[in-house]
Amino acid sequence: MCGIVGYIGEKQATTLLVDGLKRLEYRGYDSAGVSLMNGNGLETRKAKGKIAMLEQAIASDPIKGKIGIAHTRWATHGPPNECNAHPHHDCKGKISVVHNGIIENYGPLRAMLQKTGHVFVSETDTEVLAHLIEAAFDGNLEDAVVDALALVEGTYGIAVLSADDPDKIVAARKGSPLLIGIGEGENYVASDVAAILAHTREVVYLDDGEMAVLTRDGYSVCDLYQQTVKKGVSRIDWDLDQIEKGGFDHFMLKEIMEQPQTITNTMRGRLVTEEGFSKLGGLNLSMEELQNLDQIIITACGTSWHSALIGELMIEEHARIRCEVEYASEFRYRNPIVTDKTLCVVISQSGETADTLAAMREAKRRGARTLGLVNQVGSTIAREDDGGIYLHAGPEIGVASTKAFTSQVIALALLTLKLGRLRNMSVVQGRDIAQAMEALPAQIQSILDRASEVETIAEAFSDATNFLYLGRGYNFPVALEGALKLKEISYIHAEGYPAAEMKHGPIALIDADMPVVFIAPHDSVFEKVVSNVQEVKARGGRVIAITSREEPSLAGKIDYEFRIPETIDMLNPVLAAIPLQLLAYYIAAKRGLNVDQPRNLAKSVTVE
């Protein structure tokens, strides 16, 4: 959620900052703003809506400066409007603050400040920070920030300017990602490396409770007691073209089409096909510890939760370890049974999802070992887990996750293969799984080559108002994921169910206006799904089927069919997800919607 970018150096900062914000548009936002040191003091421009509106505001009233901060806001406190947009100021207009996160005690702090004469102009929690820093300021900005943050409860990633201490940017984080970009005679601060990748690949990730002071000549990092912290420098290996559309109409379509390569990247160097084994060097667990596990808990949110459900089925079937899947948002408010023989697997594309990070920390407090499945190298989960499996899917810009989902399923399959071979899985069975995994990239490409078939189906249903997605076994989570994709980007109501549960309520909804998508490859439960198809047709429903071979039992019962290649049961979700992603994409595109930035959604949910 939200985006922060800041610059200090010798370049004119306005265009640089606005371009950085554009790189963060995918995160979701409803307003934007910039503040610059113009040589005489602070000057700010803000606008409701897209960054194009901010550009118009700047064009009509230009500002210049070589030090500045900028922000895209996703509303939490107060509606999206120019007044509530960041940056926010103190009473005198000498302090400027941008903020990601939520100040939980902003109400009492605001009341306290108002009693001492501070005047507030917005409805946001963030404005409290500007006034707290103003109240504490005595000539040194970092001292004032430390004093202000000592009063704050909640989460924050902030960048601060002061007209009275003008040659620096002060940044601090607690629970909301923030990093420093290192340049020659210039430095950057950002909430996401995408904002600064065009200018530097050398970054320093801040951890919770740390503050950075940036000048033209360098940076320093300390804790909130102002004790120096030594930080390592990371190098970003993404190419800039990975965060460009590359000729596609939308990032989402580009990312769908990249999946043969991203699947390959997730598997690269990890499959030992002849031995039916996987090498996962980042687990940081000994063979004995892996063999002694008596429980695995997988915790995640949204799309990652759906991949977790597939992982649960894989692990229990092939590794024979008890496995549970928990919503991360619920896990830490329960009293879960966790021991030192529990492995808690946390899944997050960004590695910054607030609920998932909190669930991981709770599991660690209870004695579990933690394993992170993340896509963002250097993310908070990646730094705090006990071990991990990087997805290597590359940057995912579209808000609706596609390639990260399939890479998560592959990472879980690799983990299953390793655990299974350490326990009861034969080398023959392991080899069969590994060979099926190796075949996936070419199989996915064969699906993508027929994308026009899915587009034809989308054309027939782009005006629908409700969808039902049904699957059994490994394909039930795919039904959930297919429905979620459609909801996210087309705003069509859609639900996913286990196919057998249809008759326990949802069947009442089925008529000619209710398309039903069956995920029905020829697997161990295929015959059961056939009977569910017959029940839908008997009630006049229209059936879209994702199948894998011609089946006489389905003749005359399917209105639209898309066939995927055959594979083993546990990998069907990877192939079945592709046409469902395409279906959601084409329906949303035909409805003229903003596919990459659906309303009310953010790519990385960094607040609870």
pLDDT band at 502 (very low <50, low <70, confident <90, very high): confident
Q: Give the strand pairing for 95-100 and 67-73.
A: unpaired
Inter-residue contact 471 to 568 (CB < 8 Å): no
Mean per-residue pLDDT for 131-139?
96
Q: Give the tens place of pLDDT for each residue, 466-484.
A: 999 999 899 999 999 999 9
Convert 201-259 into a string of H (helix), E (strand) and C (coil).
CEEEECCCCEEEEECCCCEEEEECCCCECCCCCEECCCCHHHHCCCCCCCHHHHHHHCH
From 64, 62, 68, select the one nearest 9 (Cα to Cα).
68
List residues with catalytic annotation: 2, 603
The tens digit of pLDDT for each residue in 435-452 reads 999 999 999 999 999 999
Residue 237 has a pLDDT of: 79
Q: Are 363 and 299 in contact (CB under 8 A)?
A: yes
With beta carbons less than 8 A apart as the criterion, state whether 424 and 320 touch: yes
Worst-scoring range by mean pLDDT, 104-108, 356-360, 556-560?
A: 556-560
Instruction: Using DSSP bridges, classify how beta strands 67-73 and 42-48 pair: parallel, antiparallel or unpaired.
Output: unpaired
Helix residue ranges, H only, 86-140: 106-115, 126-136
Instruction: Identify the pLDDT of residue 601.
Output: 76
In the predicted structure, residue 369 carries a pLDDT above the cut 80: yes
Average pLDDT over residues 483-501: 91
CATH T-level assignment (fold) for domain 451-590: Rossmann fold (3.40.50)
- pLDDT band for position 511 (50/70/90)? confident
Question: What does the alpha-carbon distance between residue 301 and residue 305 come to, in Å, rounded to a whole number?
Answer: 5
Global pTM value:
0.81
Structure tokens at 434: 């590994």
Backbone φ, ψ for residue 573 (5° rounding): -60, -35
The mean per-residue pLDDT over the stretch 250-267 comes to: 95
- Among the residue ranges 25-34, 104-113, 247-256, 288-297, the one predicted with the least confidence is 25-34
* Residue linked to tokens 């297919």: 482
The per-residue pLDDT for range 281-338, each reduced to its tens digit, is: 899 999 899 999 999 999 999 999 999 999 999 999 999 999 999 999 998 888 888 8
pLDDT tens-digit readout, 58-103:
999 999 999 999 999 977 778 889 999 999 999 999 999 999 988 9
Band of residue 602 on the pLDDT scale cut at 50, 70, 90: low
Confidence at residue 535, expressed as pLDDT on a 0 to 100 scale: 81
Helix axes 141-149, 126-136, angle to 10 degrees: 120
pLDDT at 202: 94
Q: Output the pLDDT for position 605.
A: 66
Number of neighbours of residue 537 by Cβ within 10 angstroms: 18
The pair phi, psi for residue 498, each rounded to 5°, is -65, 135
* Whole-number pLDDT of residue 407: 97
Equal CATH topology for 3-236 and 451-590:
no
Q: In this structure, which amino acid lies at residue 333?
A: Y
pLDDT at position 608 is 56
Work out the number of other CB atoms within 10 angstroms of the CB of residue 340.
11
Q: Which of 13, 141, 120, 132 has its CA nearest to residue 70?
A: 13
* Cα–Cα distance, 308 to 296 (Å, whole number): 11
Rg from Cα positions in the chain = 25
User: Reduced to 3 states, what is the DSSP secondary structure of residue 472?
Assistant: coil
Domain 3-236 sits in which CATH superfamily?
Aminohydrolase, N-terminal nucleophile (Ntn) domain (3.60.20.10)
- Report for 240-254, 347-361, 386-400, 432-446: range of highest mean pLDDT: 432-446
- 110 or 241, which is more confident: 110
pLDDT at 261 exceeding the cut of 80? yes
Which CATH class name applies to 246-445? Answer: alpha beta
Contacts with 312 (C-beta within 8 Å, 6 or more apart), sequence order = 298, 323, 324, 325
Is residue 42 within 8 A of residue 36, CB to CB? The reply is: yes
Q: Is the pLDDT of residue 607 over 70?
A: no
* Per-residue pLDDT at 589 exceeds 60: yes
**Angle 47-173-13 from CA coordinates, rounded to 5°:** 45
Asked whether residue 524 carries a pLDDT value surpassing 80, the answer given is no
Cα separation, 284 vs 261, in Å, equals 27
Tell me the backbone φ, ψ of residue 261, rounded to 5 degrees: -75, -40
The answer to which of 21-25, 152-156, 408-412, 425-429 has the lowest mean pLDDT is 21-25
Name 56's Cβ contacts closer than 8 Å, sequence gap at least 6: 47
CA distances from residue 442 to 167, 432, 436, 448, 523 in whole angstroms, order as listed: 55, 17, 11, 10, 20
Domain borders along the chain are 3-236, 246-445, 451-590
Q: Give the pLDDT of residue 207.
A: 92
The number of helices, as runs of H, and strands, as runs of E, in the chain is 18, 26
Residue 11 has what pLDDT?
Answer: 95
Whether residue 267 has pLDDT greater than 70: yes
For range 332-351, the mean pLDDT: 90
CA atoms of 367 and 343, how far apart (whole Å) = 9
With bands split at pLDDT 50, 70 and 90, how would you rate the model's confidence at 527? confident
pLDDT of 606 > 60? The answer is no
Reported as a pLDDT band with limits 50, 70 and 90, residue 603 is low
The SS3 of residue 318 is helix
Confidence at residue 69, expressed as pLDDT on a 0 to 100 scale: 98
Q: Does residue 1 carry a pLDDT above 70?
A: no
